[in-house]
Amino acid sequence: MNFDLSDDQKMLAKTVADFGKKESTVERFRKLRDADGLGFEKATWKKMGELGWLAIPFPEEVGGLGGSFVDAGIVLEQLGKTLVPEPYLSSVVLGGHALWLGGSPAQHEKLLAPMMEGDTILALAFAERNVRFDPRCCATTARREGDAWVISGQKAFVLDGHAADHLVVAAMSDQGMQLFVVDAAACERKTVRLMDGHRAAHVTLRDVSVGEDRRLTARPAVEVLERVLDFGAAGAVAEGLGVAFAMLWTTVEYLKTREQFDVKIGTFQALQHRTVDMFVEVELLKSIHTESVVRASEEGPERTRAISAAKLQLAQGGQLVSRQAIQLHGGVGVTDEHDIGLWFKRMHTLVTICGDESAHVARYAATMDAS
Partner 1 sequence: MDLSFSPEEEAFRQEVRAWIAQNMPPHLKAKAEQAAHFEMPEVMEWHELLYAKGWVAPHWPKEFGGPGFSATQRFILGEELELAGTPPLSPFGLVMVAPLIMRFGSDAQRQRFLPKILSGEEVWCQGYSEPNAGSDLASLRTMAVDAGDHFVVTGQKTWTTYAQYADWIFCLVRTSTEGKKQQGISFLLIDMKTPGVEVKPMQTLGDTPAFCDTFFDNAKVPKENLLGPLNGGWNLAKALLGHERTLVAAVGQTRRNLRLAKRLAAHHLGANGKPLLEDPHFRSKLARLEMRLRAHQMTNYRALAEQQKGHHPGPESSILKLVGSMLVQEADELCMELMGQSSLAWHDDEAVEPFERWVPPTFCYDRATTIYAGSNEIQKNIIAKLILGMPGA
- Which residues of this protein are in contact with partner 1, per CB under 8 A? 1-6, 9, 70, 252, 255-256, 263-264, 266-267, 269, 272-273, 275-277, 279-280, 283-288, 290-291, 294-295, 305-306, 308-310, 312-313, 316-317, 361-362, 364-365, 368-371
* Distant-in-sequence, close-in-space partners of 272: CB < 8 Å, separation ≥ 6: 255, 266
Query: Among residues 69 and 343, whose Cβ is nearest to partner 1?
Result: 69
DSSP string, 57-75: TS-GGGTS----HHHHHHH
HSE on the CB side for 357, CA within 13 Å? 11
Query: Among residues 175 and 269, whose Cβ is nearest to partner 1?
Result: 269
**Min CB(4)–partner 1 separation in Å:** 7
Query: Among residues 40 and 133, whose Cβ is nearest to partner 1?
Result: 133
Query: Among residues 113 and 255, whose Cβ is nearest to partner 1?
Result: 255
3-state secondary structure 88-116: HHHHHHHHHHHHHHHCCHHHHHHHHHHHH
Query: Among residues 148 and 294, whose Cβ is nearest to partner 1?
Result: 294
**Min CB(196)–partner 1 separation in Å:** 25
* Distant-in-sequence, close-in-space partners of 371: CB < 8 Å, separation ≥ 6: none
**Min CB(310)–partner 1 separation in Å:** 8
DSSP string, 153-198: EEEEEEETTTT-SEEEEEEEETTEEEEEEEEGGGSEEEEEE-TTS-
**Min CB(246)–partner 1 separation in Å:** 15
Q: Quote the CA–CA distance of 230 and 232 in Å, as a whole number.
A: 5
**Min CB(211)–partner 1 separation in Å:** 41
* R_g of the chain, CA atoms, integer Å: 21
**Min CB(359)–partner 1 separation in Å:** 11
Query: Among residues 165 and 279, whose Cβ is nearest to partner 1?
Result: 279
Which secondary structure element, helix H or strand E, spans residue 45, and what is its range? Answer: helix 42-50
**Min CB(57)–partner 1 separation in Å:** 14
Q: Quote the CA–CA distance of 141 and 174 in Å, as a whole number.
A: 9
**Min CB(287)–partner 1 separation in Å:** 4
Query: Among residues 200 and 328, whose Cβ is nearest to partner 1?
Result: 328
- In our burial notation (b when 16+ CB lie closer than 10 A, e otherwise), range 7-21 reads eebeebbebbbebbe
* Distant-in-sequence, close-in-space partners of 36: CB < 8 Å, separation ≥ 6: none
Q: Fill in the DSSP letter of residue 331.
A: G
Query: Among residues 188 and 259, whose Cβ is nearest to partner 1?
Result: 259
Q: In 3D, which of 225, 192, 38 has the Cα closest to residue 125?
A: 225
Query: Among residues 90 and 290, whose Cβ is nearest to partner 1?
Result: 290
**Min CB(275)–partner 1 separation in Å:** 6
Q: Quote the CA–CA distance of 321 and 282 in Å, as a whole number.
A: 8
Q: Quote the CA–CA distance of 193 and 313 in Å, as a whole number.
A: 27
